[in-house]
Amino acid sequence: VAVKDPTAVERANLLNMAKLSIKGLIESALSFGRTLDSDYPPLQQFFVVMEHCLKHGLKVRKSFLSYNKTIWGPLELVEKLYPEAEEIAASVRDLPGLKTPLGRARAWLRLALMQKKMADYLRCLIIQRDLLSEFYEYHALMMEEEGAVIVGLLVGLNVIDANLCVKGEDLDSQVGVIDFSMYLKSDEDIGGKERNVQIAAILDQKNYVEELNRQLNSTVNSLHARVDSLEKSNTKLIEELAIAKNNIIKLQEENHQLRSENTLILMKTQHHLEVTKVDVEAELQTYKQSRQGLDEMYNEARRQLREESQLRQDMENELMVQVSMKHEIELAMKLLEKDIHEKQDTLIGLRQQLDEVKAINMEMYQKLQVTEDAMKEKNEIISRLEDKTNQINATMKQLEQRLQQAEKAQMEAESEDEKLKEEYVHKSEQLQREFSQKEKQLLQLETDLKIEKEWRQTLEDDLHKEKETVSQLRIETQEIVNLKKDFLRLQEKNRQLKNICQDQEAALQDLASKLSESKMKIEDIKEANRVLQGQVWLKDKEATHCKLCEKEFSLSKRKHHCRNCGEIFCNACSDNELPLPSSPKPVRVCDSCHAILIQRCSFNVP
């Protein structure tokens, strides 16, 4: 045998008790035939059953002193979900004598029954199950389908009128016990089915009338709200029309200003573009020329450095040979020591010359810093660069001459080497002199290389500065392109504003035409009402024949009444038609007074 869930059994029992209590309350109230008070036993049992239903599956909340388990927490949520419940919640809180949350919950149930909105309040509560999960377990009655069934049964209590006194009643200390003897059937209950059918029919009629009354009240409220909204929208449209006119005038003025500003911006940008293009082309040409010359100089200096390094290698080889020969010649070493002292003196002099060259370089660096401040004058920079290139060419020529002298010296050294074999003493002296000369030449070449490196560094700095100027010019050209884009965007915005102005002007023209048409129609209606005032129509029973042809009126011969003279004609006799500017069709005119004829219904209806 399958074991049933005890919570499901509890929910089913509570649902059956709720059905019985609600059914018994409705039947007894209708048989009672007047408003119920708080002492009515079926009503008291209904509140006890509802209290048990709301307590089912309620979570235990830990308070300051003990554990608490009340239904006031979920009922207090209703005022947040249903704004109309704020009134009864506030009145329950203000009631004197209520000290416990259970008493407040009982008072809330009684006030909701008197308002006939208990079903609405509990329906809003069971819809929000995520909020109810804070107060109830997952298997509680309010969290399952039985809660929705009970809410549906509570709708039937709207037929009951209850007048309950909550203020003086002791709701905190009441004991909620269900009296099952009230729900046991008797022979009288079995024999009263016909009476229950009649009562059900009466209840259905009452519910229908109440629902119809609610719908009519809602339609009336919606119509009032619609009329108010139409009046407000009419006033807003008038105000918006005036504002639109003012905006159109302002937009036209702004349009003229923008056009003038656009023309000025175009002229300035075109002029600026032309000037920048010319400057950029000139700078590019000078940069290309200077770069080509510097590349040539760099290649030439590199080639010379290779040659000088080769010469130095050769000289070192010769020096090694001479050092090997020094071991064999002792007398020559003494003379060489004297020459070394002289060479030291010459080195000191050369160092002094190097210091002077450094001072000259510092002066040149200061001059270059001064020229950096005046870089805007491009013509002066170009002339200086030409002077520098001329100086470099001169130095290159000097280096070539020195190389030629070195080659000649090398040839002489070779000849002297041959003579050394014959004249050893003279050869040693000559070798010492040549060695000193070669060292001087090497020192001079090193100083020249240093100077060339410094010149090259200065030229590279100039190239870097030129690159920076070119990058600045590129940035300016990019700004000019951005200005062009902004100008195109302004033109597009101006075109859109023109389209909006044209649309608003067309809308204003349409509104003016519609207003003029409505004014013409109103004037025609006023004129017709003014003419009809004071006139008395002839009764349909008396007007049976036409005044002209004296034929009886019928469906084919319809009645036409004259506004002025009051005569009645048929449609065959009143053939005179007159066109009016306010109406699209011509109107019929009386033959005697030429007034407008009004068609009357031929079925004896005024």
Q: Report the side by side order of strands in the sheet with 559-562.
A: 568-570, 559-562, 597-600
| pLDDT class of 200 with cuts at 50, 70, 90 | confident
Identify the pLDDT of residue 528: 73
Domain final position from 147, 163, 183: 183
Phi, psi for residue 19 in degrees, rounded to 5: -60, -45
Assigned domain for 324 exists: no
Question: What's the angle, vertex CA 251, arms to CA 246 and CA 253, rounded to 5?
Answer: 100
> How do beta strands 559-562 and 568-570 pair?
antiparallel
Residue 239 vs residues 229, 232, 235, 236, 247: alpha-carbon distances, Å: 15, 11, 6, 5, 12
Assigned domain for 54 exists: yes
Least trusted range by pLDDT, from 139-148, 425-434, 459-468: 425-434
Domain final position from 164, 183, 202: 183
| pLDDT class of 185 with cuts at 50, 70, 90 | low
Burial 314-329 (b: 16+ CB within 10 A, else e): ebeebeeebeeeeeee
Least trusted range by pLDDT, from 36-40, 68-72, 466-470: 68-72
DSSP helix/strand/coil, 68? strand
Please tell me the chain's helix, strand, coil percentages from 3-state DSSP, rounded to the nearest 5: 75, 5, 20
pLDDT tens digit string along 384-397?
Answer: 777 877 888 788 78
Whole-angstrom distance, CA of residue 348 vs CA of residue 371:
34
Assigned domain for 558 exists: yes
Identify the pLDDT of residue 66: 43
Phi, psi for residue 459 in degrees, rounded to 5: -65, -40
User: Running DSSP on this structure, what letter comes out for residue 604?
Assistant: S
Identify the pLDDT of residue 63: 54
Domain final position from 183, 199, 232: 183
Least trusted range by pLDDT, from 28-37, 215-224, 482-491: 28-37
Assigned domain for 347 exists: no
Identify the pLDDT of residue 286: 85
Assigned domain for 398 exists: no
The tally of domains found in the chain comes to 2
pLDDT tens digit string along 83-113?
Answer: 888 888 889 888 888 888 888 998 999 899 8
Is the pLDDT confidence value at 603 over 60? no
What residue numbers bound the domain in which 572 lies?
545-605
Tokens of 123: 């329906």
CA dihedral for 173, 179, 183, 188, sign (positive or negative):
negative
Assigned domain for 600 exists: yes
Judge contact between 564 and 558, C-beta under 8 A: no
| pLDDT class of 67 with cuts at 50, 70, 90 | very low
Assigned domain for 118 exists: yes
Identify the pLDDT of residue 249: 92
CA dihedral for 578, 583, 587, 593, sign (positive or negative):
negative
At 135, which CATH number? 1.20.58.900
At 550, which CATH number? 3.30.40.10
Assigned domain for 598 exists: yes
Single pTM value for the model: 0.35
Identify the pLDDT of residue 380: 75
**What separation, in Å, do the N-terminal and C-terminal C-alpha atoms of the chain show?**
84
> What are the residues whose beta carbons fall under 8 Å from the beta carbon of 132, sequence distance 6 or more?
74, 125, 126, 142, 143
pLDDT tens digit string along 524-582?
Answer: 887 777 765 655 556 666 777 786 787 777 766 666 666 566 667 677 675 555 454 45
Is the pLDDT confidence value at 589 over 70? no
| pLDDT class of 599 with cuts at 50, 70, 90 | low
What is the amino acid identity at position 121? Y
